[in-house]
């Protein structure tokens, strides 16, 4: 028997006689009293020292100790590949149009927006793709993306109805969400989204009226704030799913995040919507990088924001693969039929992995996303955060960007100590 490599042990701030144990491979969290802590430390230094039988049983249950012949890295690798190459799950991010009625200051598409709406023939190819995978599927999740997806509501309607029919026929659990600017969320549209089983909306407010309108204007320069607020009032009574309000922050507007919360309270929206901070990034060199927070800065701001407004505490999540970008059965589909693995690549044809119209997959880019193995990376395999990071963002990794790691590594101690108070 030996200690797990992925143990984190912290002093418990609420009681000096207790210590916090967290294991990144199992996600176990426990409070341990002083005598047990001392016994465990002795065991770490000398594995031959026996542990109390009940204490050892609990340590094994949480994964804090493992048998001598257990290779934890192999177990992480197995979990990664079982998730990455599973055919039981299908995730599609679909941009039914590349058009957008906004011209947001930090959008990587703002200077290269094209205007196609997904053709009927391309829609049929998407439907065929889902049908071809249906026999093996247990879960199918769609994210409606863009451009602004509500500019192509007819395409959303047609595709969604076909998806629901396929899922009903094959006993597949279906779920959908939409990332929308919220400007077109009329009563009629909200009722339609309910009928199409769209159960979450993400809408962005970047501060008070002046700040938001400066950062997220219509394509003609007119403000969008007031319309979005009125639509949110409608949505809180009508929409059946969850509404996430995202505040994209950088150094120019972070002070305005509090104003968003005040606005939500003023309009009676705080009980319906879930606020969340987003980190503005310089995607595809579309923005001034000097205005963006680095990951530790942003996570500190986010942590303080959550604490201030009593928002749910974050807990490190075990990852099999990092995200849809390194999952076999996950694609981003643009309106023109090009396939991508990451929505940050959408519209950059040289980063496409195929064409749904031509039924092609481009091996090189596809393999670059799918075959990276963090357990074989000398830095990652030595990192205790590996099970909750799994090599970091695949897109940033392929572009050789510095901030590849999952941000939780910078704040895991604060997260764990905060949550330990609720044990």
Last residue of a domain, one of 10, 41, 70: 70
State which H helix or E strand residue 66 sits in: strand 65-66
Same domain, 287 and 336: yes
Counting the structural domains of the chain, the total is: 2
Q: What is the pLDDT of residue 287?
A: 66
Inform me whether the pLDDT recorded for 54 exceeds 60.
Answer: yes
Task: Tell me what the mean pLDDT of segment 374-399 comes to.
Answer: 91
Same domain, 28 and 164: no
State pTM to two decimals: 0.90
Same domain, 228 and 114: yes
Q: How much is the mean pLDDT over the chain? A: 90
Question: Which CATH number belongs to the domain containing residue 308 in this structure?
Answer: 3.20.20.70
Same domain, 178 and 60: no
First-to-last CA distance in the chain?
27
Same domain, 76 and 58: no
Q: List, for residues 146-175, the tens digit of each pLDDT value.
A: 889 999 999 999 999 999 999 999 999 999
Last residue of a domain, one of 70, 92, 113: 70
Q: List, for residues 311-346, the tens digit of each pLDDT value.
A: 877 778 888 889 999 999 999 999 999 999 998 888
Same domain, 11 and 111: no
10-20 burial: b if 16+ Cβ within 10 Å, else e: eebeeeeebbb
Task: Tell me what the mean pLDDT of segment 171-195 comes to.
Answer: 97
Same domain, 18 and 97: no
Last residue of a domain, one of 48, 70, 92: 70
Of the candidates 160, 144, 161, 154, the residue with the CA atom closest to the CA atom of residue 119: 154
Q: What is the pLDDT of residue 280?
A: 86
Helix (H, G, I), strand (E, B) or coil at 22: strand
Same domain, 9 and 92: no
- CA torsion angle 81 379 65 316 (round to 10): -70
Domain encompassing residue 26: 2-70
What CA–CA distance (Å, rounded) separates 233 from 223? 18
Same domain, 179 and 312: yes
Cα separations in angstroms, 401 against 281, 298, 397, 398, 405? 12, 17, 6, 8, 10
Task: Tell me what the mean pLDDT of segment 397-402 comes to.
Answer: 79
Q: Which two tokens stand for residue 261?
A: 């919360």
What CA–CA distance (Å, rounded) separates 150 from 369? 30
Task: List the beta strands (DSSP E) in 324-421.
Answer: 330-333, 338-340, 354-355, 360-361
Q: Are 191 and 214 in contact (CB under 8 A)?
A: no
Same domain, 25 and 120: no
115-129 burial: b if 16+ Cβ within 10 Å, else e: ebbbeeebbebbbeb
């Amino acid at each position: 028997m030996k200690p797990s490599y992925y143990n984190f042990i912290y002093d418990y701030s609420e009681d000096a006689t207790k210590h916090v144990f967290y294991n990144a491979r199992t996600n176990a969290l426990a409070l341990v009293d002083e005598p047990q802590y001392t016994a465990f430390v002795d065991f770490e230094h000398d594995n031959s020292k026996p542990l109390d039988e009940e204490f050892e049983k609990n340590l094994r249950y949480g994964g804090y100790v493992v048998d001598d012949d257990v290779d934890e890295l192999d177990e992480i690798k197995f979990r990664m590949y079982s998730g990455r190459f599973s055919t039981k799950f299908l995730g599609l991010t679909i941009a039914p149009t590349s058009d957008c009625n906004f011209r947001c200051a930090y959008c990587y598409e703002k200077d290269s927006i094209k205007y196609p709406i997904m053709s009927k023939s391309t829609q049929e190819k998407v439907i065929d793709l889902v049908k071809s995978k249906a026999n093996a599927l247990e879960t199918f999740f769609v994210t409606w993306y863009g451009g602004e997806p509500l500019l192509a509501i007819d395409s959303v309607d047609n595709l969604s109805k076909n998806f629901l029919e396929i899922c009903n026929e094959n006993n597949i659990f279906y779920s959908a969400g939409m990332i929308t600017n919220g400007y077109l969320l009329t009563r009629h549209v909200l009722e339609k989204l309910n009928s199409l089983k769209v159960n979450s909306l993400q809408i962005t407010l970047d501060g008070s009226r002046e700040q938001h309108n400066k950062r997220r204007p219509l394509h003609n320069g007119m403000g969008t704030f007031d319309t979005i607020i009125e639509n949110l009032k409608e949505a809180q009574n009508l929409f059946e799913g969850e509404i996430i309000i995202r505040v994209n922050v950088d150094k120019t507007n972070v002070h305005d995040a509090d104003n968003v919360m005040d606005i939500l309270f003023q309009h009676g929206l705080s009980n319906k919507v879930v606020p969340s901070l987003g980190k503005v990034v310089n995607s595809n060199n579309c923005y001034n990088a000097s205005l963006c927070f680095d990951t530790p800065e942003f996570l500190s701001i986010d942590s303080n924001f959550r604490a201030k407004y009593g928002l749910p505490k974050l807990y490190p999540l075990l990852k099999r693969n990092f995200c849809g970008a390194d999952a076999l059965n996950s694609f981003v589909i643009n309106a023109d039929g090009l396939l991508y693995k990451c929505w940050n690549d959408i519209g950059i044809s040289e980063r496409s992995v195929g064409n749904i119209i031509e039924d092609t997959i481009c091996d090189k880019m596809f393999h670059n996303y799918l075959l990276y193995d963090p357990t074989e990376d000398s830095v990652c395999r030595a990192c205790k955060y590996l099970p909750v990071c799994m090599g970091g963002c695949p897109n940033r990794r392929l572009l050789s960007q510095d901030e590849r790691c999952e941000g939780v590594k910078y704040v895991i101690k604060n997260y764990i100590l905060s949550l330990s108070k609720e044990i």
